[in-house]
Structure formats: C-alpha cells, structure tokens
Amino acid sequence: MTTDSDPIPVTLRWAVRLLRGEAVAVGLVALWLVWADLTAETTVGLTSALLVTAFAVVGAVALWALGGALARCRAGARAPAIVLQLMLLPIGWYMIQGGLGWLGVPLMALGIGVSALLVSPATNRALGFS
C-alpha cells in the first residue's frame, strides 16, 4: 500500500470542484442550445446558432479537462484555467449592464474566487511553482 505524502491541498481541490461544476453548467447550456437548434422554426441564423452551440460544447469540455489536469497536479493547466475564469468578468459585467445583476455578480465572484484558489500558496506548492 502506498501513502500519498503530498496530498492535494484544499484550495486546489475546491478549484477542481468548481471547474467541474462550471463544466456541468456549461454542458447543460450546450444541451439546451442543441435542443433549441433542432427545434428552431427558422434556419435564417443557423450558422451562428451552430457556432454558439459548438463554442458551448468546447467550453464545457475544456473546463472538465482542465479540472482533471489540475486534479493530477499538472502545472500547465493552471494558466488556461485562470484565463477561462477571467473571461467571466466581462461576461458578468455585461450581464449587470443588461439588467441581470443577480447572475452577473455571482459569475464575477466565481471567476475571481477560482482564480484566487488557483494562485494561492498551497496550490502553488502542489503544482510545483514554489
């Protein structure tokens, strides 16, 4: 039996959980978009609709894969994960501007929170940055 002398710190564990949760949420949006694409009564904007759907699918897969890589303490996954989290800031800002502050503010907080978890000292040590 092997014991792990350097377990994954709680900050990295929570970052992985949140990334995987985001992946599930974006995946559900992607499923809804697929359904909306298939049941649309008009095909005027079909190309745009399919591109948005593909973007959502790729985003969900990327978030899930980055969470898995970080769970295995792959240092190279941290920067792309932070970039995706920082993308939540302008999305949240425009949601607030559009009257969806109830959704925009938590999205911005999520992006900042996961980014903070990914640059915390315990995560840095686990990923070999210090």
Each residue's pLDDT expressed in tens, for the chain with a length of 130 residues: 555 556 899 999 999 999 999 999 999 999 999 999 999 888 788 899 999 999 999 999 999 999 999 999 999 999 999 999 999 999 999 999 999 999 999 999 999 999 999 999 999 999 999 7
- Cα-Cα-Cα-Cα torsion 84, 17, 32, 49, nearest 10 degrees, comes to 10
Domain locations in the chain?
A: 10-127
Query: Which long-range contacts does 118-122 make (Cβ < 8 Å, 24+ apart)?
Result: 118/12, 118/15, 118/70, 118/78, 118/81, 118/82, 118/85, 119/82, 120/9, 120/11, 122/9, 122/10, 122/11, 122/12
Residue 26 · residue 58 · CB < 8 Å: no
